[in-house]
Amino acid sequence: MTAMTDEGPSIDRTRPSIARVYDYLLGGTDNYAVDREVGDVFKRDLPGSVAIAFANRAALIRAVAEIVTTTGVRQFIDLGSGLPTADNVHQIAQRHAPESRVVYADIDPQVLLHGRALLEENERTRVVAGDVRDPEDVRTHPETLELIDFDRPVAVILSAVLHHVNDEEDPAGIVRYWRDQVPPGSYFFLSHFRSGDNPETTEAERVLQQTFGRGRWRTEEEIEALLDGLEILDPGIVPAPLWRPEAAGGPRRSGGEKDLTVWERLIAAGLARKSG
């Protein structure tokens, strides 16, 4: 359990954090020895697995740019946002449309501390303490309501977060809640560990479950089912490097899935829209 101080939640440096391990794999510095120990398991025993983190981040960047440049949506809620790094959602969106507003929600105390410090002078961005598994708490948070107008379309970002929600915690129910709370014309970006039915998937899942008690690889059909009731846009649920690779100047991937590494195939992405 996270301890509290007068300044807010304190950081437990003795237990690894999913957000900090992810930061380490992306080359960040906001992590501790206990996080690097977990990250090194992936680097040492699962060589190539770092590609999952980079493929996911690149797809997120393309998706946000795609939303803000091709639709009128100017509101984003990033659930389980993780530690700030280069090209955060607000940076991408505001680069194209400065009026864009972004709420980041995360339960990790270090994410909250670093995020609030980084965004202190950005009046169109907020960082709120919220658990993705408690969407009502995130939606009704005073700072969320201060920034987001739920009578207008919203882009809900679920980037690499629902695979950390175990089946019994009802990940589909989380998406369903947000689907019911936002108006038609809203968008959902989802990225998720994609089951490869191979030794790499099995071992990576074992490491995460042993360390954090969570981390679930799902099939494309299971990932698609999370977006039930939404219109999944082309090209559907696909490996992240193949999700609109040329959007926002991304690299051309003409060879399809056969040209991806086994690790690049283990993270899928998709964009969906709530129709009227």
Average pLDDT, the chain: 87
* 182-195 per-position pLDDT tens digit: 999 999 999 999 98
* 79-118 per-position pLDDT tens digit: 998 776 668 899 999 999 999 999 999 988 877 887 787 7
Please, which contacts does 116-119 make with residues 24 or more away whose CB atoms are closer than 8 Å? 118/84, 119/84, 119/90
Residue 260: which domain range? Answer: 4-273
Convert 34-72 to b/e letters by CB count within 10 Å (16 or more is b).
bbbebbebbeeebeebbbbbbbbbbbbbbbbbbbbeeee
Look at residue 259 and tell me whether its pLDDT is greater than 90: no
Amino acid in position 33? A
- Can you give the pLDDT at residue 214? 76
What average pLDDT does the segment 133-160 reach? Answer: 97
To the nearest whole percent, how much of the chain has pLDDT over 70?
Answer: 92
To the nearest whole percent, how much of the chain has pLDDT over 90?
Answer: 55
97 CB neighbour count, 10 Å cutoff:
15
Contact criterion met (CB below 8 Å) for 245 and 157: no
- Can you give the pLDDT at residue 248? 52
Poorest-confidence range of 68-77, 119-128, 186-195? 119-128
Structure confidence at residue 8 as a pLDDT band (50, 70, 90): very low
- Can you give the pLDDT at residue 255? 61
What average pLDDT does the segment 248-265 reach? Answer: 71
Structure confidence at residue 210 as a pLDDT band (50, 70, 90): confident
* 224-239 per-position pLDDT tens digit: 999 999 999 999 999 9
Amino acid in position 187? Y
- Can you give the pLDDT at residue 253? 54
pTM score of the predicted model: 0.86
What average pLDDT does the segment 49-53 reach? Answer: 82
Structure confidence at residue 144 as a pLDDT band (50, 70, 90): very high
Q: How many domains does the chain have?
A: 1
**Where residue 125 sits, what CATH number does that domain have?**
3.40.50.150
Q: Which pair of tokens denotes residue 176? A: 């369903």
Poorest-confidence range of 73-82, 149-158, 259-268? 259-268
What average pLDDT does the segment 206-212 reach? Answer: 79
